[in-house]
Chain A
Amino acid sequence: MSDAIVGPTSRNSPCPCGSGRRYKDCHGALGGPDAAAHVPPSPRSAYRAPGGEWAHLDEAARDLLGARMEQALAVQMEGRVDDAAREYREVIAAASDTHDALHMLGVIELGRGSLDEAERLIAAGMALRPPYAAIEHNWQLVQDARLSLARVQPEMLAERALPVFVDLALARGAVGRAGRAPMAASGPTVVHLIGRAHAGDHDDGWLLRRLADVLVADTTMVWAVDGNGTEVIGARRAQRVDGGIGAFPRGGTQVFAGVDYDCATWVDRSNAERVIVFCQSAAPTRYLDQLRALAQDGARPLELVFASRAMADRFGRGHTVLPPPLDLAAPGAVLAPEPDAYEDRMMERSPVWPIGIVGQNQQSVCEPPDGDFVKNLASITGRLHIYDPGRFRYLLGGSPAVRFFERRPGGPETFLAQLGCFVHRTEAWWLDTVGRELYGAMAFGVPVLCPRSSIHAERIEHGVDGFLYGSGAEAQQQLSDLRQTPAWAASIGRAGRNKVRLLLDSETQTRGYRELVVGAGHTIAAGA
Chain B
Amino acid sequence: MATAPVWQTHLGADTAFDPQYHQNPRVEIASFINEAPGVVLDIGCGGGATGKLIKEKFPGTRVIGVELNPHAAAYARQFLDDVVCASIDEVELAKHVGEVTIGAVLLLDVLEHLYDPWRALTRIRTWLAPGTRVLASVPNIRNLVSLDELAAGRWDYGPHGVLDVTHVRFFTRATLRRLFEETGYAVTHMEPLTQPAWVDRYVIARRPGKLVTKNLSIAFRNREDLEDLYAFQYVVDARAATVMPDCEKPTLPPASEVSPIV
Contacts and interface: CB of A to CB of B under 8 A. Distances in A.
Q: Do A and B come from one complex?
A: yes
Report the 3 A-B pairs with minimum CB-CB distance, sorted nearest first. A397-B31, A200-B222, A393-B28
B222 A406 contact: no
B222 A202 contact: yes
B23 to A, nearest CB: 13
Interface in A134-152: 134, 140-141, 143-144, 147-148
Interface string A179-212: 0000000000000000010111110010000000
B222 A199 contact: yes
A395 B222 CA distance: 26
Contact of A205 (B20, B200, B222, B237): B222
A398 B30 contact: yes
Interface string B38-73: 000000000000000100111000000000000000
A286 interface: yes
B189 interface: yes
Interface stretch (B87-95, B119-127, B163-171, B223-231): B223-231
Interface string A244-274: 0000000000000000111000000000000
B191 A261 contact: no
Contact of B223 (A130, A133, A140, A202): A202
A38 interface: no
Contact of B196 (A130, A134, A391, A395): A391
A396 B198 CA distance: 20
A2 to B, nearest CB: 30
Chain A binding site: helix, strand, loop or mixed by DSSP?
A: loop
Interface string A357-398: 000001011110000000000000000000001111111111
Contact of B200 (A144, A396, A400): A144
Q: How large is the interface on A (under 10, 10 to 19, 20 to 34, 35 or more residues)?
A: 35 or more
Interface stretch (B176-184, B201-209, B246-254): B201-209
A260 B208 contact: yes
Contact of A365 (B28, B53, B196, B207): B196
B194 interface: yes
A281 to B, nearest CB: 13
B227 A141 contact: no
B27 interface: yes
Given A389-B31, A398-B56, A400-B58, A144 B201 contact: yes
A133 B221 contact: no
B57 A200 contact: no
A400 B222 CA distance: 33
Contacts of A400: 57-58
Given A393-B28, A404-B34, A406-B189, A262 B200 contact: no
